[in-house]
Amino acid sequence: MSNNNLSTAMSSSLTVLLPPLFPISDNNRSAWIITVSTVLLILTLLPTTVALISRIRIFAQSFLE
């Protein structure tokens, strides 16, 4: 399948391209809320994952001894 066939097949189904974040205005700060929430979620999940992995490793070592 060539690139021309892919582009013509997709152009009929995709009529509107939206930006990745909402525009920021004085009354609408939803883009900042989404961005900050995503960053905070990532910062929360990283230490939680590290803590769980270390606890599992410690538990496995004590269980095997």
Residue 48 forms part of a structural domain: yes
Q: In the structure encoding, which two tokens stand for residue 5, read together?
A: 């066939």
Range of the domain at 40: 24-65
Residue 33 forms part of a structural domain: yes
Q: What is the pTM of this model?
A: 0.52
How does pLDDT run across 20-63, given as a tens digit for each residue?
656 667 777 787 888 899 999 999 999 999 999 999 999 998 88
Q: In the structure encoding, which two tokens stand for residue 36, read together?
A: 């900050």
56 against 2, higher pLDDT:
56
Quote the pLDDT of residue 64. 80
The structural domain count of the chain equals 1
Residue 4 forms part of a structural domain: no
The dihedral over CA atoms of 32, 34, 35, 38, expressed in degrees to the nearest 10, equals: 150
